[in-house]
């Protein structure tokens, strides 16, 4: 990290440095390292001290992750929401620093207002799906959910009109830039976080395995690069190497296989999260689906000779985990390169200083950008079909003749498939 | 045809044909102070300075050449400049309106193509402005990437629409089935390919510029492509849902202009000094009346009122149906004060006309904010018009700026107040489920239908 002095620009002219003074790279001045650590590590050289600080913080974050998993889906949802808000805050602050627009009239209020609107829209859609019975019982909630899109759109429009009314003569361009900046940030941060929550509701394993694969790839690629790294990978991040990349890929796939094997055994990870009306809390209890039942697979001839086994018992989910780990190691790093390019473009060293030794929350989550979307698309395309309870909900809002038509079509379809016989209707 | 122009010290062979000398000097003057140090510092630094300067420091991009056809010019050569402009605008307005009617006559498919064409042109106009603002016409890959992203997002949206409305057509073809089933995955993979290409194309001295253009492209896509697809969804709901909103916005534009021209006195907003309160309010009332009448006229015809369906036997779009309750005359009792005015006890209206009041109100009160947004945008980037496509009017975006929000509003309005989900889509999703789930749903539905009395329990239907 000491070698990243290219963050500072050489050969600045006077006018540049004057404007740079305010948009200076968020200086790593305020050292957030706790006093305890500082004293304990005061003897070591600067490089090893940095390594230790990073290492300890990494372990702290991982321990924190485990605690949260233990506490359950509700706490996880809240944590995801907090991470989202912090990421939004970090990126918007960078925007303010770049454009010196901290004093723009209204703008801070408007950015947070838009964040609130978009979150309201997304949470409303999720809540309506998963808390269907709870919502139907309470009158105000029912109205809110029936006209949800209209209400969200109205809220957004109010923000839009406020923006237009707040345009000030000398600052048009700046205000449009910040407007664009806010919207792109919302697009990146808020949609990803909601896809994460969707994945979570599908089953905690769909949340834990992807995120752990990305973290593992980060760490493994770093280790392989540290010990064997020789060929640079991409000009954007000079410290990444091909050896790290490939080593990280194989290590992550193996890690994913092992992790999914361990987790597929437990119901609390594998079952979709449901809201139980009677107990008024989240439950994860179900009959595990086919994906999470051990099955025998024949090993292809070539590996048979190596391992000496004819068949192996695996969970089908482990096959999917190979796809997830592959994505995490091959495409996930592009999210990291994107963030590196962004930091170089705006001449900042880190997104913020939240985590000592690591930078901001965004620095930790930059490789996760695409992972959440991929997992969501993967689940929707290959794993599950549409959500049955949502379908019933949609069905109930149709007209009676449409309902009858669909019912009859479904009936003939089931009879064709042999699931129903025409005489045993009233079981 | 847009004139591209490089200022001052930028290397580049393109020079504008009609570049006034004064502008060239002013532009060159901006960069004189930094030209000596440009070679050492990042090109990005220059843009950093541009960003933080206030608007007044940035020189204007001059308007490009005049595209008025020769015929018009000769016919109007006698008149003074102001009236000439007025006449050109008037003639072009009438031309556009006739073109609109012609396309409506040709049917929904042509309308879809028209909407697609307009979307592509709007995208092109906004992206070109971005190139001019950032002098980024020569950025490696960037033009390709922008068009590629446009293609991806369009593919995603059209795929979702096509899957819904062409269900029967799609079931027949094997490859289409595959494409539909994995549609989201394929779209995402295509988008990812573009994203990775962007990351790989980042060039050392141009990082900031490339990120700006990336963000510019995405915001433009968000604005133009989503709106155009909502327009098409509204269209499929019934052509009246497409025609009445768009006509209300156009009517509001024209009547607000006329009221402002004849009675305008109090300025409305600093952004657009030519708009007045008199125009705004007069436009509001005329648009509501216009919407009311247009809804009345259009509601009679099945052609406008029925949802667009694709019939596989005729292999074309068909608009034939039993008009829903919205489009059947009903009698309403008038409230007392209107009774006194109109001296009638009751009136026969289509319920849709009541909805049209909501649509026209939105078009007149909130629609103009879209116009102010575009005015602010033009002032921010010192351009007079988005482009020069239509003589006397500017670019396509100039005509459609007030429509931005209208399409979204109509779509949200329809989904919230008019119709529920699409029955064929529900059926499609049902058929994709696992058999056990289907059986469960079947039992639930059966209980529900029997409860409601729609299904008789003992009857084997």
Question: What pLDDT is stored for residue A158 in this prediction?
Answer: 92
- pLDDT score recorded for residue B115: 87
pLDDT at residue A45 in the model: 67
Cβ of B184 and A175 within 8 Å? Answer: no
State the pLDDT confidence band at A12, using cuts at 50, 70 and 90: very low
**E runs forming strands in A184-286:** 232-234, 237-241, 274-276, 281-283
Taking 60 as the threshold, does the pLDDT of residue B88 lie above it? Answer: yes
Mean pLDDT of A221-235: 85
Q: Is B442 on the interface with A (CB under 8 A)?
A: yes
Q: For residue B120, is it within any domain?
A: yes
> Which range among A382-391, B182-191, B326-335 shows the weakest confidence by mean pLDDT?
A382-391
- Report the residue of chain B nearest A337, measured CA to CA: B199
pLDDT at B23 over 50: no
Strand partners, B310: B317
Cβ-based contacts of B44 with chain A (< 8 Å): 345, 347
Report chain B's mean pLDDT, rounded to a whole number: 75
Please determine, for residue B60, whether its predicted confidence score (pLDDT) is greater than 90.
no
B72, part of any domain: yes
Search chain A and give the residue with CA nearest B371. A164
Asked if A13 is an interface residue toward chain B (Cβ–Cβ < 8 A), one would say yes
Rounded percentage of chain B residues whose pLDDT exceeds 90: 11
Closest of A76, A86, A73, A149 to residue A115, by C-alpha: A86
Mark B345-356 as b/e (b = at least 16 C-beta within 10 Å).
Answer: eeeebbbbbebb
Residues B261 and B347 in one domain: yes
Shared domain check, B211 and B120:
yes
pLDDT at A249 over 90: yes
Q: What is the ipTM of this complex?
A: 0.79
Residues with Cβ within 8 Å of A227's Cβ and at least 6 positions away in sequence, in order, are: none
Cβ–Cβ < 8 Å for B198, B211: no
CA distances for B253 relative to B97, B365, B400, angstroms: 13, 11, 11
A52-56, A179-183, B32-36: least confident range: B32-36
| Residue-level pLDDT at B171 | 66
Q: Is the pLDDT of residue B196 over 50?
A: yes
A346 shares contact with chain B (CB less than 8 Å):
yes
Note whether B337 and B359 are same-domain residues.
yes
Question: Cβ B380–A406 below 8 Å, yes or no?
Answer: no
Residues of chain B with Cβ-Cβ distance to A394 below 8 Å are: 420-421, 426
Report the pLDDT value the prediction gives residue A159, as an integer from 0 to 100: 92
pLDDT band at A357; cut points 50, 70, 90: low
Helices (H), B166-182: 167-172, 174-181
The alpha carbon of residue A83 is apart from the nearest alpha carbon of chain B, in Å, by 23
Residue ranges of B 406-435 with Cβ closer than 8 A to chain A? 408-409, 412-413, 415-417, 420-421, 423, 426-427, 429-435
pLDDT score for A71: 81
Residue B62 near chain A (CB below 8 Å): no
What is the model's pLDDT at position B191?
92
Residues B391, B397, B401, CA angle at the centre, nearest 5°?
120
Judge if B132 and B236 occupy the same domain.
Answer: yes
Rounded to an integer, what distance in angstroms lies between the CA atom of residue B320 and that of residue A257?
56
**Among B48, B82, B105, residue at a domain's last position:** B105
What are the chain B neighbours of A417 within 8 Å (beta carbons)? 435
Residue of A nearest to B434 (CA): A385
> Could you give the CA distance from residue A247 to residue A255 in angstroms, rounded to a whole number?
12
Kindly identify which residue of chain A lies nearest to residue B179, measuring between CA atoms.
A381
Tell me if residue B346 falls in helix, strand or coil: strand
DSSP symbol at A2? T
In a domain, residue B226? The reply is yes
Helix (H, G, I), strand (E, B) or coil at B171: helix
Structural domain includes residue B184: no
The answer on B394 and B429 residing in a single domain is no
B163 occurs within a structural domain:
no
Candidates B185, B379, B420; nearest CB to A397: B420
Of the two residues B63 and B256, the one the predictor is more confident about is B256
Domain that holds residue B70: 64-105
**Residue B412 and residue B429 in one domain:** no
Domain-embedded: residue B180: no
Query: What total number of domains does chain B contain?
Result: 3
Residues B208 and B99 in one domain: no
Interface residue of B189, B445, B456 to substitute, partner A, most A CBs within 10 Å: B445
- What is each CA distance from A50 to A32, A102, A238, B163, B240, in whole angstroms? 13, 33, 19, 55, 67
Residues B373 and B443 in one domain: no
Give CA–CA dist A349/A1, Å, rounded: 10
Chain A, chain B: beta-carbon pairs less than 8 Å apart: 220
Question: What tens digit of pLDDT does each residue of A61-94 get?
Answer: 888 888 887 887 788 888 888 888 988 888 888 8
More confident residue, A227 or B320: A227
Residues B339 and B427 in one domain: no
Mean pLDDT of A368-395: 77
Q: What's the mean pLDDT in B248-271?
A: 87
Instruction: Search chain A and give the residue with CA nearest B56.
Output: A170
Question: Would you say residue B300 lies in a domain?
Answer: yes
Q: Which of A386-400, B115-129, B357-371 comes out lowest in average pLDDT? A: A386-400
Global confidence as pTM: 0.77
DSSP secondary structure, A56-113, as one string: HHHHHHHHHHHHHHHH-HHHHHHHHHHHHHHHHHHHHHHHHHHHT-TT-TTHHHHHHH
Token pair for A411: 């009936």
Does residue B225 belong to any structural domain of this protein?
yes
Please say if the pLDDT value at position A180 is more than 80: yes
Could you tell me if B351 and B400 lie in one domain?
yes
- B388 and B444 fall within a common domain: no
pLDDT band at A201, cuts 50/70/90? confident
Summary mean pLDDT of chain A: 77
Q: Tell whether B48 is within 8 A of chain A (Cβ).
A: yes
| pLDDT value for A30 | 43
Q: Using an 8 Å CB-CB cutoff, list chain B residues near A160.
A: 369, 373, 405
**pLDDT tens per residue, range B39-51:** 334 444 444 444 5
Q: Judge if B428 and B404 occupy the same domain.
A: no
Q: What distance in Å separates residue A394's CA from the closest CA in chain B?
A: 6
| Per-window interface: A 352-381 vs B, CB < 8 A | 370, 373-374, 377-378, 380-381
**B195 and A334: CB-CB below 8 Å?**
yes
Average pLDDT on B59-81 reads 56
What's the pLDDT score for residue A210?
Answer: 92
């Amino acid at each position: 990290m000491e070698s990243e002095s290219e963050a500072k620009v050489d050969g600045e002219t006077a006018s540049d440095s004057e404007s740079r003074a305010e948009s200076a790279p968020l200086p790593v001045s305020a050292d957030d390292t706790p006093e305890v650590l500082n004293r304990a590590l005061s003897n070591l050289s600067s490089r090893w001290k940095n390594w230790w600080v990073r290492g300890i913080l990494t372990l702290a974050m991982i321990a924190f992750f485990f605690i949260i998993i233990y506490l359950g889906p509700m706490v996880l949802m809240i944590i995801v929401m907090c991470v989202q808000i912090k990421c939004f805050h970090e990126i918007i602050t960078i925007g303010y620093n770049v454009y010196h627009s901290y004093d723009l009239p209204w703008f801070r209020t408007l950015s947070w207002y838009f964040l609130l609107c978009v979150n309201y829209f997304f949470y409303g859609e999720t809540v309506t799906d998963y808390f269907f019975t709870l919502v139907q019982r309470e009158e105000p909630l029912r109205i809110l959910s029936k006209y949800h899109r209209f209400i969200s759109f109205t809220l957004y429009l109010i923000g839009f009109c406020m923006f237009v009314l707040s345009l000030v003569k000398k600052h048009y361009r700046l205000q449009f830039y910040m407007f664009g900046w806010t919207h792109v940030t919302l697009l990146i941060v808020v949609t990803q976080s909601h896809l994460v929550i969707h994945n979570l509701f599908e089953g905690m394993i769909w949340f834990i395995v992807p995120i752990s694969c990305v973290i593992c790839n980060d760490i493994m690629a770093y280790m392989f690069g540290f010990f064997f790294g020789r060929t640079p990978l991409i000009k954007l991040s000079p410290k990444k190497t091909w050896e790290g990349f490939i080593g990280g890929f194989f290590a992550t796939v193996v890690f994913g296989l092992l992790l999914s094997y361990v987790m597929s055994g437990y119901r609390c990870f594998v079952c979709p999260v449901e809201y139980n009306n009677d107990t008024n809390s989240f439950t994860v209890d179900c009959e595990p689906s086919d994906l999470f039942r051990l099955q025998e697979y024949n090993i292809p001839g070539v590996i048979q000779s190596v391992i000496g086994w004819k068949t192996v018992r695996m969970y089908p989910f482990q096959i999917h985990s190979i796809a997830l780990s592959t994505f995490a190691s091959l495409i996930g790093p592009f999210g990291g390169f994107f963030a590196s390019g962004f930091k170089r473009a705006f001449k900042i060293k880190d997104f913020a200083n939240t985590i000592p030794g690591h930078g901001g929350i965004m620095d930790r989550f930059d490789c996760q950008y695409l992972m959440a979307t991929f997992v969501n698309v993967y689940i929707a395309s290959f794993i599950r079909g549409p959500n049955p309870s949502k379908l019933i909900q949609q069905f109930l809002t149709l007209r009676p003749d449409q309902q009858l038509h669909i019912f009859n079509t479904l009936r003939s379809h089931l009879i064709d498939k042999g699931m129903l016989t025409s005489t045993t209707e009233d079981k | 045809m847009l004139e591209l122009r490089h200022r001052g010290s930028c290397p580049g062979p393109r020079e504008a044909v009609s570049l006034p000398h004064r502008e060239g000097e002013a532009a060159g003057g901006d960069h004189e102070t930094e030209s000596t140090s440009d070679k050492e510092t990042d090109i990005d630094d220059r843009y950093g300075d541009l960003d933080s300067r206030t608007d007044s420091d940035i020189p204007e991009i001059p308007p490009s050449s005049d595209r008025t056809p020769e015929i018009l010019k000769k016919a109007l050569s006698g008149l003074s400049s102001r009236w000439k402009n007025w006449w050109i605008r008037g003639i072009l307005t009438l031309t556009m309106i006739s073109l609109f009617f012609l396309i409506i006559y040709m049917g929904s498919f042509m309308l879809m193509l028209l909407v697609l064409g307009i979307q592509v042109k709007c995208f092109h106009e906004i992206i070109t402005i971005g190139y001019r603002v950032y002098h980024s016409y020569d950025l490696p890959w960037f033009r390709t990437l922008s068009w590629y992203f446009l293609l991806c997002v369009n593919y995603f949206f059209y795929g979702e629409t096509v899957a819904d409305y062409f269900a029967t057509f799609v079931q027949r073809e094997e490859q289409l089935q595959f494409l539909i089933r994995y549609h989201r995955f394929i779209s995402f993979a295509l988008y990812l390919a573009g994203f990775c290409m962007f990351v790989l194309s980042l060039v050392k001295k141009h990082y900031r510029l490339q990120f700006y253009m990336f963000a510019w492209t995405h915001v433009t896509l968000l604005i133009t492509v989503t709106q155009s697809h909502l327009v098409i969804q509204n269209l499929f709901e019934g052509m009246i849902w497409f025609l009445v909103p768009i006509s209300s916005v156009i009517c509001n534009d024209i009547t607000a202009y006329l009221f402002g021209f004849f009675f305008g006195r109090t300025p409305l907003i600093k952004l657009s000094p030519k708009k007045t309160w008199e125009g705004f309010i007069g436009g509001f009332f005329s648009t509501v009346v216009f919407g009311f009448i247009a809804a009345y006229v259009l509601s009679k015809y099945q052609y406008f009122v029925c949802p667009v369906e694709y019939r596989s036997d005729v292999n074309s779009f068909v608009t034939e149906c039993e008009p829903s309750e919205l489009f059947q005359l009903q009698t309403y009792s008038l409230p007392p004060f209107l009774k006194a005015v109109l001296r009638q006890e009751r009136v026969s209206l289509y319920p849709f006309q009541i909805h049209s009041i909501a649509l026209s109100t939105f078009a007149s009160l909130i629609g103009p904010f879209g116009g102010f947004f575009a005015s602010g945008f033009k002032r921010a980037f010192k351009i007079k018009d988005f482009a020069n496509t239509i003589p006397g009017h500017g670019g396509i975006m100039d005509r459609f700026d007030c429509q931005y929000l209208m399409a979204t509003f109509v779509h949200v309005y329809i989904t919230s107040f008019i119709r529920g989900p699409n029955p064929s889509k529900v059926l499609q999703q049902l058929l994709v489920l696992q058999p056990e789930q289907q059986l469960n749903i079947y039992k639930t539905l059966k209980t529900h239908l029997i409860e409601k009395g729609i299904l008789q329990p003992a009857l084997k239907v």
